[in-house]
Structure 1
Amino acid sequence: MQEPVRVGLVGYGASAKTFHAPLIAATEGLELVAASSRDAAKVHADFPGLAVESSAEALMARDDVELVVIPTPNDSHFPLALAALAAGKHVVVDKPFTVTVAEAETLAEAARQAGRVLSVFHNRRWDADFLTVKALIDAGRLGRVVAFESRFDRYRPQVPVRWRESADSAGTGLWYDLGPHLIDQALQLFGPPDGVFLSRETVRDGAKVDDAFRALLRYPRLQVVLSASALMAEPGARFAVHGSDASFVKHGLDGQEAALKAGRAPGGADWGRDARHGTLTRWRDGAPVYETVPTRRGDYPAYYAALRDAIRAGSANPVSVDEAIAVMRVIEAGCVSAAEGREVTFAKRGHERADFVGTVRQRRAL
């Protein structure tokens, strides 16, 4: 029997507790052996008997830890991941990968030199609604896609006291929080854009950093609009995709995050089910024809299962470093765009786009 991949978790904040620890614990072939935390009782409330180290450095020094997972504040991703790679560990970094492209590229080179798997937790590739949209596009049900809108609308009028809402460190605000999810999904479908125009707003009373944004990603004959807001009592469609043959509209957020927050263990027959289906609209004989499209099953556990196989069997990294860097390029360009009030264009990289899309298609075929 193959030995499980032994995992160490850096910190035990909201992301570690809600996402990573439950998903690791639910994945066959992974074993959570230790966490670092200044509050051992908080860890033991969920995982009695789990080894708790007082620092990330002590966690990385453990001989029984092969994989280090870093779900910490964004500006700490780079130094922690660099230290973990230097310690000879495989590494998972929560999104966003880093705060800058330069940091991301440095980590990519460090992973190559160390011969270790470095992956980024873009879990929303396995959202039920996104999997449905991707399947429709891949099957050609919409024809040539000409307009794509993807949004996260939430109603959180009170500004919580947490690092994500603070202006005291780099990489905070909604563009760095939800932007990576929306960008990664768009890049999985269409590859790198030719340009990006971003507006970032502070809409809630008392907010210190952006809590709403709208980004336009420009492609040849295609416009992609990504948006999010913390002050939308009535959310718009999660996806609105329009093509030469049909349109598809889907409302409602994937329910896996809510299930994890409610303490549900990942897996089981009902995991990832979404009863809110989307509508495909086509025109026939001058009139619209509507078709309900059942939403595919979401599957966050698939990320860690694929990561296990990448480490043990050398199979495809579920989120490669190159894909994560592509997301960071859009994030960083968006920051410049918002600051200067202009579109930021990317150098013509036709071969890079072809390589990126080819890699995505290869991974889908596995």
Structure 2
Amino acid sequence: MTAKTIGIIGGGQLGRMLAMAAARLNFRTIILEPQADSPAAQVANRQITAAYDDPAALAELARLCDVVTYEFENVPVAAAATLAASVPVYPPPKALEAAQDRLVEKRFINDCGIPTAKFHAVDSQEGLEAALKDFGGQGVLKTRRLGYDGKGQKVFRSPADSAEGAYAALGSVPLILESFVAFEREVSIIAARSTDGTVVAFDPAENVHRNGILHTSTIPASISDATAEAARNAAEKILSSLGYVGVIGIEFFVLADGGLIANEMAPRVHNSGHWTEAACVVSQFEQHIRAVGGLPLGDAGRHSDCVMQNLIGDDILTVPDWLKRKDALVHLYGKTESRPGRKMGHVTVLTAKT
């Protein structure tokens, strides 16, 4: 197979794992990332050290690569569109547009026939107070753009929680207030769509978050076959609507009756899909490389049950103990500095498939 070059915008751990998967399939990778010696660049063929929207860097990336992808959803849409004029960009820039703004995302998901929490756009303190009144004084206030891992949010648990100054406290930027959802558990599904329209989905994972950051993903999730099928169907609707190519992660709330409420989507490989590298023959990272590289998608079946746990901050100190276990796959991200809330690696513990 002739070696092709894949450009990856973003140099974090997701880009690192994409580059590793690409190398196994005889692809070269070039990283565009402003931080020198990024985790991804440590395992890629080359890094272009420049801003994501630097015109000269984008031109060089387009010239050197056969296809370009990205590892995070806050890539400037204009930069992706500029690249797409001269080289295939997967997932398509319109997937970035849909995912970068929480209000646009919610409306898009609803247009696909998939329910979400109720929501109000909030563009002023007065607008926030009116939205809270409509939701009985409760809800989750979020920035519409750039929020992740619990950042850029404020929770109103009861009418007694003061909203005074909340709009300004979140930066006086466009916000969205989402209603609470009475859910039993959180799940996510990782699915891929190829250039020929084939869709393949991994088994849904059941997720537990701590301080707004994913702590564990457990497979299989404690959901019915019907709920799992509904998650797959929702993923296929979203992928098809976007003309998507690559892997996507979609998070859901599971209701008491097994129904699903979509929370958010990420147009990239996803933290809750890291388990696939240990429990499946083809990981989410290889699946993404196959999709954007024009190769057939792999089988998404798992050979084991498992629990994936993130190593966050000082959790990195537990690695020697994890390495002594026979049932654990340890994956570290090449980061030299540990900080509270920073993802340093992950561990997947395997058990016999049930």
Please confirm whether the aligned pair reaches a TM-score higher than 0.5, indicating the same fold. no
Q: Normalized per residue, which structure has more strand? A: 2
Report the TM-score range of the alignment, normalised by the length of the smaller protein: 0.3 to 0.5
Bigger share in helix: 1
Query: Normalised by the size of structure 2, how large is the TM-score?
Result: 0.36
TM-score, normalized by length of structure 1?
Answer: 0.35
